[in-house]
Amino acid sequence: MRHGGDDDYGLPRVDVVVPDDARELDADVAAWRREEKEKRRRERLRRLLRPLTRHGLALPVLALTVVLALVSGVLITFFGPRPLPQSPAAPLASPTAAVGSVGGSLPDVRVVVNATSRPAETLRPALLVILPPECGCERQLHALARQAVGQSLRFYLLADLRKGDRSVQEAHRDLRPVVNRITEAVTGVVDDPQNALAAAYRAQGLTVVTVRADGLVSQVLRDLGPEIHSRLIKV
């Protein structure tokens, strides 16, 4: 029995068009295949991300932190302070001149470097730069640092405290930002509580003392001007 639009079995009538040529279904088949391929792609992506999303955002954040740390390390390696090639300290040589002169040894005093007290004679081989108050000589310091690297010398800065009322701590605090801006060499601050080095070498203006690996002084340069010759330092 038929009921209106129903067929003989009481089912709703369905309009079905059967094409004469099966090739007319190619577009529909291609669309279905694209949908299935997209579903498989999304499922593969979900499987890959499942270990990271299993614990919420903790693992993605941790992974991002590791990546940032690696990138920061690479940037510091290539653009940060370059390691200073250093010649090893040789056995102390017998001085041929008095302390405070070329050919002499460094004064027999103790200084502080990196919060460690040590004999001044251990500052070798080195370029010791004695800075007057309010030097304003960073340009010269960059040039001297480059030459220290070229000569395989350690590069040290110390303040001349013979004039004024600055304490060793205040001088160290003032020099630390300067040291951080000098990237040409690994730079250290020497605290000389007795002002022995500035006094021994009669520091005047920007003063440089070059110390060889054997502990003998090869140069004392005083009152350096704004222009630093590219071959000023000789060991």
Gap between the Cα atoms of 88 and 98, Å rounded:
24
> Residue 129 above 90 pLDDT?
yes
pLDDT at 2: 46
Instruction: Give the residue with greater pLDDT, 172 vs 55.
Output: 172
CB 222 within 8 A of CB 203: yes
Residue 34: predicted pLDDT: 84
pLDDT at 228: 95
Whether 111 contacts 128, CB under 8 Å: no
131-159 average pLDDT score: 95
Residue ranges of domains in the chain? 22-79, 110-221
pTM here?
A: 0.63
CB 205 within 8 A of CB 162: no
Least confident of 34-43, 51-60, 182-191: 51-60
Whether domain 110-221 has CATH 3.40.30.10? yes
